[in-house]
Amino acid sequence: MADVAGPASAHPQAKAAVHSCRVAAVRHYGPFACVTVVGPQLAAAAEPGQFVMIQVPDSRFLLRRPLSIFAVRDDEVTFLIEARGAGSARLTGTRAGDILSVQGPLGNGFPLAGVRRALLIGGGIGVAPLQFLADRLAAAGVGVTAAFGFRDARQARLAAAFHIEHLWLATEDGSAGRRGTVIDLVGAIGAAKNTVLFACGPDAMLAAVQRWAAERSLRGHASLEAHMACGTGSCHGCVVPTTSGYQRVCAEGPVLPLQEIVYE
């Protein structure tokens, strides 16, 4: 089994190139949209777990929006977007042929060297970086299982965007997949001792994953969600507490060792 390449450079500022990318396709899944752009240089540089800062194509919006890289195939890069506010709603409404200004890739990706078995855990829009990760792991022969948690069947429609062979679903109201939280789901699935966890979702979910992993002596990595202004570490507006002090999600993250994140 081949080793998986390690993460990108720990200095995201060096990779803050801005690309003008043509939208190739837009696919909608309930309140979510997969926006695929043509960006050869971006695709060549991207690593699973990294993100970009996209300019909303409307002069009313001054700040770029941070988006995880959902998938990379050949010279195309796909972003998974949830219409939460006016800016993200505008991005989900883009059409093929539109031009988007994309800065990135930024941040540090998932450390993948030496991984032999992986459990991917996502909640809500936190599932966004996990397709790219699953693709890279599967290409290296790593056994991949994914567990996704959603509020209800409407939100769970997002799972149709994924192509992961062993993908399990849970919804809080039981309207799709297993009834319960994603932690209930991973408890039912279980994990062998050599499994590495890769998680992304809201803080409450990540804190629960952290406890679940510690009880089973499993190691893992978490991709954190945060409001960002610059995306390159300059403004220090996205710091989070860790056992090594405060870390910037956009620069030292968004991926951090699961057990080093401090939750109250």
Find the CATH number of the domain harbouring 96: 2.40.30.10
141 and 204 inside one domain: yes
- Cβ proximity of 57 and 26 under 8 Å: no
Q: Are residues 96 and 166 in the same domain?
A: no
* Predicted local confidence at residue 264, as pLDDT: 76
In a domain, 238, yes or no: yes
205 and 224 part of one domain: yes
In a domain, 111, yes or no: no
Give the position of tokens 């690593």. Answer: 47
CATH code for position 212? 3.40.50.80
Examine the domain organization and report whether 172 and 70 are in the same domain. no
Q: Is residue 100 part of a domain?
A: yes
CB 204 within 8 A of CB 179: no
Residues 176 and 95 in one domain: no
Q: At a CB cut-off of 8 Å and minimum separation 6, what does 60 contact?
A: 86
pLDDT score, position 5:
42
The pLDDT of residue 169 is 97
Range of the domain at 170: 117-260
Residues 126 and 72 in one domain: no
77 in any annotated domain: yes
**172 and 137, same structural domain?**
yes
Which pLDDT does position 204 carry in this prediction?
A: 95
pLDDT of residue 163: 96
Tell which of 63, 81, 106 closes a domain. Answer: 106
The pLDDT value recorded for residue 232 is 74
Report mean pLDDT in 10-residue bins for the chain, 264 residues: 41 68 95 96 97 92 93 98 91 96 96 96 96 98 97 94 97 96 96 96 96 96 83 80 92 94 89
Residue 167 and residue 133 share a domain: yes
Co-location of 62 and 180 in the same domain: no
CB 102 within 8 A of CB 52: yes
Which residue, of 106, 139, 159, is where some domain finishes? 106
- Element (DSSP H or E) covering residue 75: none
Question: Is 85 within the bounds of a domain?
Answer: yes
pLDDT at residue 18, as a whole number: 95
Q: Are 141 and 255 contained in the same domain?
A: yes
Within-domain flag for 7: no
Residue where one domain finishes, among candidates 80, 106, 132: 106
In a domain, 1, yes or no: no
pLDDT at 243: 94
With 0.85 as the threshold, say if the pTM is over it. Answer: yes
Residue 170 counted as domain residue:
yes
Q: What's the total number of domains in the chain?
A: 2
Alpha-carbon distances of 197 from 73, 219, 249, rounded to whole Å: 24, 6, 19
Chain-centre distance of CA 152, in angstroms? 20
Amino acid at 186: V
CB 206 within 8 A of CB 214: no
Please indicate, yes or no, whether residues 146 and 61 belong to a single structural domain of this protein: no
